[in-house]
Amino acid sequence: AQSVAQPEDQVNVAEGNPLTVKCTYSVSGNPYLFWYVQYPNRGLQFLLKYITGDNLVKGSYGFEAEFNKSQTSFHLKKPSALVSDSALYFCAVTPGDYKLSFGAGTTVTVRA
Amino acid sequence: DVKVTQSSRYLVKRTGEKVFLECVQDMDHENMFWYRQDPGLGLRLIYFSYDVKMKEKGDIPEGYSVSREKKERFSLILESASTNQTSMYLCASSSVAVPGDRAPYGYTFGSGTRLTVV
């Protein structure tokens, strides 16, 4: 069975500083990895995904994520955080069937 | 743009009431899911359906049932609402394989229904 770990419940950064949200995964076979963002009282929105190819994936709102197979990680990054990036972020993995396993989520707070 | 629509954003119900949460998708997806989200507990799968009239229990099915009479609609039913079912409920849909041409975003989520049982 696949699983995802997001080791940090909360990440706090100052506006303009780099933002990193960590994710490690466990899956049989090749992983398909996703990041979603959730704003208060809303559903989850797709940010980016890794399927194959380049280990650095670029997504919406200036976010990117780096796939590292040897470390089984897929950390989400943004070079310069904005206050509007404050939200709940979920990492998810699937081996390519319909089952998507989610991490517990990381709350990001960006202070002005 | 593809959509998953949940019929209510906010709902307040009384203890003991039968509650219906409705979800409709327009992507012709085979799979539909109901999750419950509580602070510190992440997303917990209640039920999912892989075809019309088909369903499987998720991690926390107790106190819930579901109905899928049409491919595009998946209903979550709280048979007798209790205060411990106060939560955010999220519906999602996907194709048979994720990711895929018909599910490029993995799962597509609705906006959620915040249910309060008093």
Q: What does the mean pLDDT of chain B come to?
A: 92
Summarize the confidence of residues A28-35 as an average pLDDT.
92
Say if CB B41 and CB B73 are below 8 A apart.
no
Q: What is the distance in angstroms between the Cα of A57 and the nearest Cα belonging to chain B?
A: 14
Of residues A43, A103, A105, nearest to B90 (C-beta): A43
Q: DSSP character for B117? A: E
Residue ranges per domain, chain B? 4-117
Domain A3-98: which topology? Immunoglobulin-like (2.60.40)
Residue B54's Cβ-side half-sphere holds a number of Cα atoms within 13 Å equal to: 8
Confidence band (pLDDT; 50, 70, 90) for B9? very high
β partners of residue B13: B117
Burial class (CB in 10 A: 0-12, 13-18, 19+), B25: buried
Sheet holding B4-6, edge to edge: B4-6, B19-25, B73-78, B64-70
- For chains A and B, CB pairs below 8 A equal 69
CB contact under 8 A, A44 and B105: no
3-class DSSP state of A105: coil
Q: What is the distance in angstroms between the Cα of B84 and the nearest Cα belonging to chain A?
A: 19
- Choose from B9, B25, B49, B107 for mutation: most chain A CBs within 10 A: B107
Residue B16's Cβ-side half-sphere holds a number of Cα atoms within 13 Å equal to: 0
CB contact under 8 A, A98 and B50: yes
Q: Using an 8 Å CB-CB cutoff, list chain A residues near B31.
A: 98
CATH class of B4-117: mainly beta
Token pair listed for B52: 């019309």
Residue ranges per domain, chain A? 3-98
Say if CB B112 and CB B89 are below 8 A apart.
yes
Q: d(Cα B77, Cα B13) in Å, to the nearest integer?
A: 13
Antiparallel, parallel or unpaired: β A56-58 and A10-14: unpaired
pLDDT digits (tens, 9 = 90+) for A82-111: 999 999 999 999 888 778 899 999 999 999
pLDDT for the residue A95: 87
**B31: pLDDT strictly greater than 90:** yes
Report how far apart, in Å, the C-alpha atoms of A75 and of each of A35, A50, B1, B31, B96 are: 9, 11, 28, 28, 27
pLDDT for the residue B2: 63
**B101: pLDDT strictly greater than 80:** no
